[in-house]
Amino acid sequence: MVSTGMVGRGTALGAVLLSLLAVPAQAASATTAAERASSATKSTTSVAKSTTSAAEGMPAPDLTGLQQVLRSALAEGAPGAMARIDDNGTVHRAAEGVADRETGRAISTGDRFRVGSVTKSFSTVVLLQLVDEGRLDLDTSVNTYLPGLLPDDQITVRHLLSHRSGLYDYTNDMFEATVPGFESVRNKVFTLQELLDLSLRKPLTDKPGTTFRYSNTNFVVVGQLIEKLTGHSLGTEYRDRIIAPLKLRDTSYVHPDTAIPGRHTKGYLRPDETGAPLVDSTRQTVSWAQSAGAMISSTRDLDTFFSALLRGRLLPAGLLTQMQQWVPVNSTQGYGLGLRRRDLSCGISVYGHTGTVQGYYTYSFTSKDGQRSITAVANTSNNSNVLGVMARTLEAAFCGKPAAAPTGPTARATTPGGPYAEHHVERYEDIAPGIARH
C-alpha cells in the first residue's frame, strides 16, 4: 500500500471510534495563495515536461475494461456513463449511452454535470488557503469564529473537515423518500443557517472528535466560515481562489440558479418504487447542499483540479499533508480533510472525492503525484448497483488489465459482469444509510 495513516485501517464499517487525532497545524509555507495560483496556471500547461512519468510504477490504463465498466453501468440502469483519464498529458475519453433521453443525444466527456460532494474538496481548499493566510486555525473551536453557532465548543474546524464533529446530517431525513424529498427542495432556496438549524433539531450523534460519520452539515458550517471570514459569497471565493487560477472553463457555482450553464448531460433520478420511470432531475437549486455539494463541472476540469491539488499547486506542502491525515472509513478507504483515499487492488492508492446529487454519480481521483487522474460520471442516482459499478472505473484507470478472469463459486454472485467484478472492489460506499436504493 502506498499511503500511510495516522490511525490503523481495517476497522469495521460505519462509524469508527478513534483516538483523538491531535495533529498540529504545520507551519505554512511563505508562498502566498496568489503565487501558488499563478504557478498552478503554468503547471497545467506543462504537465508533459514533468520528470516524473505517470507510467512509472503504474500499469497503462485498461481502456477496453473502462468501456466495459461504462456499459455495465448502462446495463444497471444508467442512461449514460462517461470517463476521462488525464495521464501525464495524454487524454483518454470513453462514453456510453445518452445525455438526454428525449433527444437521444449521446453523452460526451465534454458535457458538464453536477458534481455533488466533490464540492467538499473545493470548499476545503478555500478554507485551508484561509488557514495558510493566518485567518483561522484548524484546531480552534468553530465557535471562536462564529460565536454561539454550534452547541459544543469542543467542535473544531478540523472536526468539520474530517466529518468528526458529531453534527447530525439533515439530508438523512430530507431524502428518506427519494422523489418526494427531492421535489420538496428542488426549487427551494435555503440560507446556510437554515440548513444548520435543520441539523440542530437533533442532538449531536457523537462526542466531537471521536467518530467519523459522514455529514453534509459539516460542510454547511465550512461554508459559513468561508463567508464570515472573507466577507464574500462562496461563489466568489471558489472563482477567485480555484476556478480562475486553474482556468476551469466548465466549472461554476450558480446557486440558486436551477439551470446548468452550457452543454451538459441531463440527470435522471431513480425512484424508490420498482419499475417507476426515471425522473429528470437536471434542474434544481441544489440549495440543500451549497458548500457541501452544489458545484457544476466537467471531467476535464475535475481532473485538472485534483491533479493540481496533489501536485501542491493550490496549498502549501504542510497543509496538503494535513489534508492527507486519514480517518478510516472502511478496509480500503480513508477520509482526510475534504479528501478521500481509496486503496485499489493493485496496491495503488488514489485521492479525490465522490459525489451523489440527484441524477448524477461522480468519481474523481488522482494518483499520489497527481500525474494520472480520472473523472467518471453516470447520469443517474439512487441506484447502488450503478454506484458500485462506477467504482470499477478506478481499477481500469490505475491498475491496468486484470491478471485473470474471475473464477470460483462467488464469481459474479453479487456484482454484475464486466472486468474487476470480483476483484477487490469495495461493495460498501460511504454514503448515508439508505441513500442509494439497491
Min CB(298)–ligand REX separation in Å: 17
* Binding to ligand REX in span 98-137, by CB under 6 A: 116-117
What phi and psi, each to the nearest 5 degrees, are found at residue 50?
Answer: -60, 145
Which range touches ligand REX (CB under 6 A), out of 145-153, 312-320, 330-338, 351-359?
A: 351-359
* Binding to ligand REX in span 193-222, by CB under 6 A: 216
Determine, following the binding rule CB under 6 A, whether residue 265 of this chain makes contact with ligand REX: no
Which range touches ligand REX (CB under 6 A), out of 4-12, 19-27, 38-46, 355-363?
A: 355-363
Min CB(385)–ligand REX separation in Å: 12
Determine, following the binding rule CB under 6 A, whether residue 385 of this chain makes contact with ligand REX: no
How far apart are the C-alpha atoms of 396 and 389, rounded to whole Å? 11
Determine, following the binding rule CB under 6 A, whether residue 289 of this chain makes contact with ligand REX: yes
Determine, following the binding rule CB under 6 A, whether residue 291 of this chain makes contact with ligand REX: no
Which one of 121, 171, 199, 251 is in contact with ligand REX (CB under 6 A)?
171
Q: Which of 117, 199, 287, 297 is catalytic?
A: 117
Which one of 95, 126, 229, 292 is in contact with ligand REX (CB under 6 A)?
292
- Residues near ligand REX (CB under 6 A), total: 23
Determine, following the binding rule CB under 6 A, whether residue 393 of this chain makes contact with ligand REX: no
Determine, following the binding rule CB under 6 A, whether residue 355 of this chain makes contact with ligand REX: yes
Which one of 180, 277, 347, 434 is in contact with ligand REX (CB under 6 A)?
434
Determine, following the binding rule CB under 6 A, whether residue 284 of this chain makes contact with ligand REX: no
Determine, following the binding rule CB under 6 A, whether residue 358 of this chain makes contact with ligand REX: yes
Q: Return the number of the residue (84 or 186) whose C-beta is nearest ligand REX.
A: 186
Angle ∠(176,413,355) on CA atoms, nearest 5? 40
Q: What sign for the dihedral angle of Cα 103, 106, 108, 114? A: positive
- Dmax (CA) for the chain in angstroms is 60
Determine, following the binding rule CB under 6 A, whether residue 322 of this chain makes contact with ligand REX: no
Which one of 354, 364, 367, 379 is in contact with ligand REX (CB under 6 A)?
354
Close Cβ partners of 358 (under 8 Å, ≥ 6 residues apart) = 182, 267, 269, 279, 281, 284, 381, 382
Determine, following the binding rule CB under 6 A, whether residue 378 of this chain makes contact with ligand REX: no
For β-strands 80-87 and 268-269, DSSP reports them as unpaired
Determine, following the binding rule CB under 6 A, whether residue 293 of this chain makes contact with ligand REX: yes
Q: Return the number of the residue (425 or 431) whose C-beta is nearest ligand REX.
A: 431
Determine, following the binding rule CB under 6 A, whether residue 234 of this chain makes contact with ligand REX: no
Edge-first strand order for the sheet with 380-381 is 279-280, 268-269, 380-381
Q: Are 217 and 182 in contact (CB under 8 A)?
A: no
Min CB(64)–ligand REX separation in Å: 27
Determine, following the binding rule CB under 6 A, whether residue 59 of this chain makes contact with ligand REX: no
Determine, following the binding rule CB under 6 A, whether residue 183 of this chain makes contact with ligand REX: no
Close Cβ partners of 281 (under 8 Å, ≥ 6 residues apart) = 182, 186, 267, 268, 269, 358, 359, 381
Determine, following the binding rule CB under 6 A, whether residue 78 of this chain makes contact with ligand REX: no
Min CB(123)–ligand REX separation in Å: 11
Strand partners, 91: 86
Which range touches ligand REX (CB under 6 A), out of 4-12, 307-315, 325-333, 353-361?
A: 353-361
Min CB(285)–ligand REX separation in Å: 13
Q: Return the number of the residue (58 or 99) whose C-beta is nearest ligand REX.
A: 99
Burial letters for 352-366: b for 16+ Cβ neighbours within 10 Å, e otherwise? bbbbbbbbbbbbbbb
Q: Which three cell numbers stand for residue 125?
A: 481548499
How far apart are the C-alpha atoms of 141 and 221, rounded to whole Å? 12
Catalytic residue status for 108: no
Determine, following the binding rule CB under 6 A, whether residue 436 of this chain makes contact with ligand REX: yes
Which one of 269, 319, 327, 350 is in contact with ligand REX (CB under 6 A)?
269
Determine, following the binding rule CB under 6 A, whether residue 178 of this chain makes contact with ligand REX: yes
Close Cβ partners of 75 (under 8 Å, ≥ 6 residues apart) = 416, 417
Residues designated catalytic? 117
Residues contributing to the site for ligand REX (CB under 6 A): 116-117, 171, 175, 178, 181, 216, 269, 289, 292-293, 354-358, 381-382, 431-432, 434-436
